C-alpha cells in the first residue's frame, strides 16, 4: 500500500523558495558580504563562497537548505560561517569569474550548486588548496569532477541526485500506456542531461519506443523546440536539465495545449506544470551538502569523503496537469489534488 500525501502547490512553492541566504556582492564576489551572527567565544570565522548555476526553483530550494543547515550547525562545530552567495546567471564565463574571485579572496571552501557551476569551481580551485563541495551534480564522474564516487581524490566531493530513469518510465507506462514515441528536450552542453539522456535512450531502445532529440541552447529555445517535438511525438521527456527547468512553465503550457504528457526528472518541474516524475528530495540533498561542508571545515580532507548519492525517491504528479490532459491518477491520490506525492 503506497502512502499517499496530497500537497498543495503553494506548500511546494514555499518549500522551493526556502530560507533566504545572505546577499552577494556582484562587483566583488569574493568579498565577505554575508551578515554573520555574533561570533560565539572562540568560534573560528570561516567564509563559504557559494555559487549557483542560475536561479530556478530546485536550485533555490537547495541553496536555502544549505544555508539553513550551515546556520543551524555552525556553532556546535565551533564555527561562525559567512556565506557569500553568487548567481552564475547560467553563463560559463560569469561562473569562471566568480570562482576565480572566490579563490583570489581565499574563501575557506567553495560550494557549487549544479554541474556547470561545479565544473567552473573545480577548475578555478585547482592547485589553490581551497576545497570544493558540489551539490546536486547528477553524474560527477561523467562531468569530470571526481575519479570515483567512493574515493573522489583531489580536493573535491559533494552530493549527487541520481535519476531513477527506469522508475520514471515505469510510471509513464502506467499513466499513459498509449505513448509510443518521446521527444527528448535538453541542452547538449549540460553533462548532467547527457548522462540521463544516454540512459533514457538505452531504456527506450529496449522497449521499442522511438524518440526524437530536441536540442536547446538557452531557455528562450524551449518553446520552439517543445512545439516541434509535440508535433511529432506522443509525449515529451525532459531530463534533469537546468536550461529546460528555467523555462518549465512554457514547456508545460505547450504540452497542455497539445494535450500530451511531459515527464520530467525533478519535483520542481512537476510543480511548474510537468505531469510526473520519480525524484529525490532537494531539501535533504542541500542539508547533506552542508553537513559535508562542515566536516571539511572541521578538518577532514574533501577528497577523502565519498560522494553522497541520494537514492530515496518519491513519485510526484501534477493533478492539475493530469486533469487538463485527461490522465487518470486516481491510483496515486485524490482526484482534485494539485500535487500528489507518493512514496516510491
Ligand atoms: N542535477 C542538476 C545538475 O547536475 C542540477 C539540478 C538540481 C536540477 N535540481 C534540478 C536541474 C532540477 C533541473 C531541475 O546540474
Q: Could you list the mean pLDDT of each consecutive 10-residue stretch along the chain, which spans 344 residues? A: 38 35 45 53 93 98 98 97 98 98 98 98 98 98 97 96 97 98 98 98 97 97 98 98 98 98 98 98 98 98 97 96 97 91 84
Strands (E), 53-128: 79-87, 109-113
Output the pTM of the full model. Answer: 0.90
Strand partners, 214: 185
| Residue nearest atom 2 of ligand 1, based on CA coordinates | 114
Q: Which of 141, 199, 240 to mutate to test the pocket of ligand 1 (most atoms within 8 A of CB)?
A: 240
Matching residue, cell 514515441: 181
Cα of 69 vs centre of ligand 1, distance in Å, is: 20
Cα of 190 vs centre of ligand 1, distance in Å, is: 10
**Helices 222-232/248-257 angle, 10° precision:** 30
Q: Which helix (H) or strand (E) holds 299?
A: none
Output the pLDDT for position 113. 99
325-334 long-range CB contacts below 8 Å, 24 or more apart? 325/255, 325/256, 325/259, 325/260, 325/261, 325/275, 326/259, 327/175, 327/176, 327/261, 327/275, 328/175, 329/175, 331/174, 332/2, 332/4, 333/4, 333/5, 333/6, 334/4, 334/6
Q: Which of 12, 139, 186, 192 to mutate to test the pocket of ligand 1 (most atoms within 8 A of CB)?
A: 192
Cα of 220 vs centre of ligand 1, distance in Å, is: 18
Cα of 119 vs centre of ligand 1, distance in Å, is: 14
Question: Please, are residues 317 and 4 in contact by the beta-carbon 8 Å criterion?
Answer: no
Looking at 106-209, list the stretches that DSSP marks H as alpha helix, in order from N- to C-terminal side. Answer: 115-125, 165-175, 191-206
Cα of 198 vs centre of ligand 1, distance in Å, is: 16
Q: Which of 92, 120, 138 to mutate to test the pocket of ligand 1 (most atoms within 8 A of CB)?
A: 138
How far is CA 288 from its chain centroid?
14
Cα of 14 vs centre of ligand 1, distance in Å, is: 19
| Residue nearest atom 3 of ligand 1, based on CA coordinates | 114
**Helices 191-206/115-125 angle, 10° precision:** 130
Question: Please, are residues 251 and 236 in contact by the beta-carbon 8 Å criterion?
Answer: yes
Cα of 240 vs centre of ligand 1, distance in Å, is: 5
Counting from 1 in the atom list of ligand 1, the atom nearest the Cα of 163 is 1
Output the pLDDT for position 335. 83
Output the pLDDT for position 14. 35
Cα of 59 vs centre of ligand 1, distance in Å, is: 7
Counting from 1 in the atom list of ligand 1, the atom nearest the Cα of 57 is 12
Q: Which helix (H) or strand (E) holds 47?
A: strand 44-52
Ligand 1 cavity residues, CB under 6 Å: 58-59, 114-115, 136-138, 161, 192, 240-242, 245, 266, 268-269, 282
Nearest Cα neighbor of 228 from 251, 194, 202 is: 251
Output the pLDDT for position 39. 55
Amino acid at each position: 500500500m503506497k502512502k499517499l500525501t496530497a500537497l498543495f502547490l503553494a506548500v511546494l512553492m514555499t518549500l522551493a523558495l526556502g530560507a533566504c541566504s545572505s546577499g552577494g556582492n556582484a562587483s566583488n564576489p569574493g568579498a565577505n558580504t554575508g551578515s554573520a551572527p555574533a561570533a560565539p567565544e572562540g568560534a573560528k570565522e570561516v567564509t563559504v563562497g557559494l555559487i549557483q548555476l542560475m536561479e530556478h526553483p530546485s536550485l533555490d530550494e537547495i541553496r536555502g537548505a544549505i544555508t539553513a543547515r550551515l546556520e543551524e550547525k555552525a556553532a556546535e562545530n565551533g564555527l561562525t560561517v559567512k556565506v557569500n552567495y553568487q548567481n552564475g546567471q547560467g553563463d560559463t564565463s560569469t561562473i569562471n569569474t566568480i570562482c576565480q574571485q572566490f579563490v583570489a579572496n581565499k574563501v575557506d571552501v567553495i560550494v557549487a550548486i549544479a554541474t556547470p557551476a561545479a565544473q567552473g569551481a573545480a577548475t578555478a580551485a585547482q592547485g589553490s588548496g581551497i576545497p570544493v563541495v558540489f551539490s546536486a551534480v547528477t553524474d560527477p564522474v561523467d562531468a569530470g569532477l571526481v575519479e570515483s564516487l567512493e574515493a573522489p581524490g583531489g580536493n573535491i566531493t559533494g552530493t549527487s541526485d541520481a535519476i531513477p530513469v527506469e522508475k520514471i518510465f515505469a510510471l509513464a507506462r502506467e499513466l499513459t500506456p498509449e505513448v509510443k514515441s518521446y521527444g527528448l528536450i535538453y541542452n547538449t552542453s549540460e553533462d548532467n542531461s547527457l548522462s540521463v539522456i544516454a540512459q533514457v535512450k538505452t531504456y527506450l531502445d529496449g522497449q521499442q519506443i522511438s524518440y526524437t532529440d530536441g536540442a536547446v541552447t538557452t531557455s528562450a529555445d524551449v518553446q520552439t523546440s517543445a512545439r516541434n517535438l509535440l508535433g511529432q511525438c506522443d509525449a515529451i521527456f525532459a531530463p534533469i536539465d537546468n536550461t529546460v527547468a528555467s523555462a518549465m512553465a512554457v514547456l508545460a503550457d505547450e504540452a497542455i495545449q497539445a494535450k500530451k504528457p511531459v515527464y520530467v526528472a525533478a519535483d520542481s518541474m512537476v510543480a511548474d506544470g510537468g505531469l510526473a516524475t520519480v525524484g529525490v528530495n532537494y531539501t535533504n540533498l542541500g542539508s547533506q551538502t552542508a553537513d559535508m561542508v562542515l566536516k571539511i571545515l572541521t578538518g577532514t580532507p574533501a577528497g577523502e569523503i565519498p560522494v553522497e548519492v541520494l537514492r530515496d525517491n518519491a513519485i510526484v504528479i501534477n493533478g492539475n496537469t493530469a486533469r487538463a490532459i485527461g490522465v487518470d491518477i486516481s491510483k496515486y491520490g485524490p482526484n482534485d489534488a494539485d500535487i500528489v506525492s507518493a512514496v516510491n
